[in-house]
A and B are shown apart, each in its own frame.
Chain A
Amino acid sequence: MVTTLHHILANSIVLLALKLGILLLLLPATLVVGYVELKVMAHMQHRLGPMYAGAYHGWAQTLADGLKFIQKEDIMAAATDRTVFSMVPYITMLGAALTFVVIPFSRHGVIANLDIGLFYALAVSSISVIGVLAAGWASANKYSLMGGLRAAAQLIAYELPLVLAAAAVAMQAGSLSLVSIAEAQRYVPFALWAQPLGFLIFLAAATAEVSRTPFDMPVAEAEIITGAFTEYSAMKFAFGLFAAEYIAMIGMSALAATLFLGGYVPLLPQLRFVPGPVWFLIKTGLLIFLLIWIRWTFPRLREDQLQKFAWKVLIPLSLVNIFVTGALKLAHWT
């Protein structure tokens, strides 16, 4: 019965529509995460945060922000390179959203189960920096150019520990498919056993990849006015900066949850009755909360400190992590 149902689903347009629906859930998810961030950061500073929009604790604040963006005039300064300027929202959105295509939220609930899912996710997540660099260039604005170059330098530095930490996970699981990686963590997540160091490296590098505090030099509001996106307005600004940043943050959290916390796999065999997507959402949500918490705990790193941290701490550590993983595996300890 179940197999027949699965067969019908797998061979029909229904499944494609279902998958599209799941991908489109990203947009409300972005609004929810935006609202949660506003509220969490307010409470961490003993404020109330948004309280009016939607009457109940300002629940509709980010929705109202989104609608406002749609109504705003799209201003392009006369000096901008108009073609490149207009391409940027497409590039950043594509880079941020396409990661989700390979992330499993249950055993069979994955939009495209690529054999090289992990490799693909890492490759796609670095597309958005092309958008940021293009925005910095096309704006013909000194601050934007600086922001774009900072973003590129930061991506270069933090891409390596991210990829090397992920390579250690691939060694541990013996596969690049995200479903197999999650299955390899049945009841023992890698973050607790075998890859705790890799988890910390990945988390630090992922925070830098999505340019969040303490690694937010590319968008430092106080000095270069959101960097590459100074000249952007209306919906282009919303897509280029907000949507891309929040979707990228959800994407990185979902990826980290799958790689190190087991994704949809239950934490305890006794809790198997809780469905996979619930586990996936809990783990991803925890990591998103952690990222917000980090943002309101640490001050911004200076550009030279940021580079030093990547090249002199994270990259050597991630190389050591690969050696240790290999040695432990050969000794059959993990």
Chain B
Amino acid sequence: MPKGYFGEYLTLAFFAGMMLLLVAGTLGLNKLVSPKVHRDEKYLTYECGVDPVGGGWSQTQIRYYLFGLLFVVFDVEAVFLFPWAVVFDKLGTAAFVEMVIFIGILALGLAYAWRKKVLEWL
């Protein structure tokens, strides 16, 4: 059994592999024991029982383009936040004030988006 820093990640990779094998095995078993009866109607796309109208890859209104941008901003913030959070005890007041300023600027951005009615899902 591998030890140390990379050892833990090797264990992780091993378990990921085992999980994939499990899914593959069960799906394979499903293929072995399930019946196969061909009928054309079965392979129609489901649309509440009537024949499908138009294609399935239809255009959809993507409302969350701006939500996506905001998400990226705050997610990157979270990545910066974690190392700071871990060593918070050793850094003291100065680091806390710096982080308040950093998050404050981002919160200002959120407030701006709020004011500009970007956060309305309509």
With A89-B23, A141-B47, A149-B62 as contacts: A73 and B86 at CB distance below 8 Å: no
* A89–B18 touching, CB < 8 Å: no
With A93-B19, A142-B56, A142-B58 as contacts: A235 and B26 at CB distance below 8 Å: yes
A66 to chain B, nearest CB (A): 9
Interface: A10 (CB within 8 A): yes
Contacting residues of chain A (1-52) with chain B, CB-CB under 8 angstroms: 10-13, 15-16, 19-20, 23-24
Interface of B is mostly: helix
Contacting residues of chain A (226-266) with chain B, CB-CB under 8 angstroms: 230-231, 234-236, 239
Q: Closest A-chain residue to B78, C-beta based? A: A163
Expressed in whole angstroms, the Cα–Cα distance for A94 and B12 within the complex equals 11
* A112–B11 touching, CB < 8 Å: yes
Expressed in whole angstroms, the Cα–Cα distance for A307 and B68 within the complex equals 12
Expressed in whole angstroms, the Cα–Cα distance for A171 and B99 within the complex equals 13
- Chain A interface category by residue count: 35 or more
* B64–A304 touching, CB < 8 Å: no
Expressed in whole angstroms, the Cα–Cα distance for A167 and B33 within the complex equals 48
With A94-B16, A234-B34 as contacts: A145 and B57 at CB distance below 8 Å: yes
B residues in contact with A70, CB < 8 Å: 26, 29-30, 33-34
A residues in contact with B103, CB < 8 Å: 319, 322-323
Interface: A220 (CB within 8 A): no
Interface: B15 (CB within 8 A): yes
B residues in contact with A312, CB < 8 Å: 114, 119
With A93-B23, A97-B19, A319-B103 as contacts: A174 and B43 at CB distance below 8 Å: no
In the complex, identify which listed stretch (A154-162, A205-213, A267-275) lies at the interface while the others stay far away. A154-162
Expressed in whole angstroms, the Cα–Cα distance for A203 and B31 within the complex equals 39
Interface: A222 (CB within 8 A): no
B30 to chain A, nearest CB (A): 4
Expressed in whole angstroms, the Cα–Cα distance for A156 and B68 within the complex equals 7
* A156–B23 touching, CB < 8 Å: no
Interface: B96 (CB within 8 A): yes
Interface: B122 (CB within 8 A): yes
Expressed in whole angstroms, the Cα–Cα distance for A226 and B85 within the complex equals 39
Interface of A is mostly: helix
With A326-B96, A329-B88, A329-B89 as contacts: A94 and B20 at CB distance below 8 Å: yes
Among the interface residues B12, B55, B58, which one has the most CB atoms of the partner chain A within 10 A? B12
In the complex, identify which listed stretch (A56-64, A75-83, A187-195, A284-292) lies at the interface while the others stay far away. A75-83
B residues in contact with A128, CB < 8 Å: none
* B60–A149 touching, CB < 8 Å: yes
B residues in contact with A308, CB < 8 Å: 119-121
Expressed in whole angstroms, the Cα–Cα distance for A326 and B84 within the complex equals 11
Interface: A315 (CB within 8 A): yes
Contacting residues of chain B (20-40) with chain A, CB-CB under 8 angstroms: 20, 22-24, 26-27, 29-31, 33-37
* A167–B58 touching, CB < 8 Å: no
Expressed in whole angstroms, the Cα–Cα distance for A90 and B20 within the complex equals 6
* A146–B43 touching, CB < 8 Å: no
Interface: B42 (CB within 8 A): yes
B49 to chain A, nearest CB (A): 11
Expressed in whole angstroms, the Cα–Cα distance for A329 and B89 within the complex equals 8
A residues in contact with B70, CB < 8 Å: 311
Give the contacting residue for A73; candidates B3, B27, B34, B46; CB below 8 A.
B34
* A98–B15 touching, CB < 8 Å: yes
A333 to chain B, nearest CB (A): 14
Interface: A55 (CB within 8 A): no
Give the contacting residue for A230; candidates B18, B46, B60; CB below 8 A.
B46
A residues in contact with B34, CB < 8 Å: 70-74, 234
B residues in contact with A144, CB < 8 Å: 56
Expressed in whole angstroms, the Cα–Cα distance for A324 and B67 within the complex equals 26
* B58–A16 touching, CB < 8 Å: no
B121 to chain A, nearest CB (A): 4
Sample of 15 A–B contacts (CB below 8 Å): A19-B11, A93-B22, A93-B23, A94-B16, A94-B20, A112-B8, A141-B45, A171-B86, A239-B23, A304-B120, A308-B121, A312-B119, A323-B100, A323-B103, A330-B96
A-B contacts besides A24-B22, A160-B71, 8 pairs, CB < 8 Å: A74-B34, A75-B42, A77-B43, A78-B44, A157-B67, A167-B82, A231-B46, A308-B119
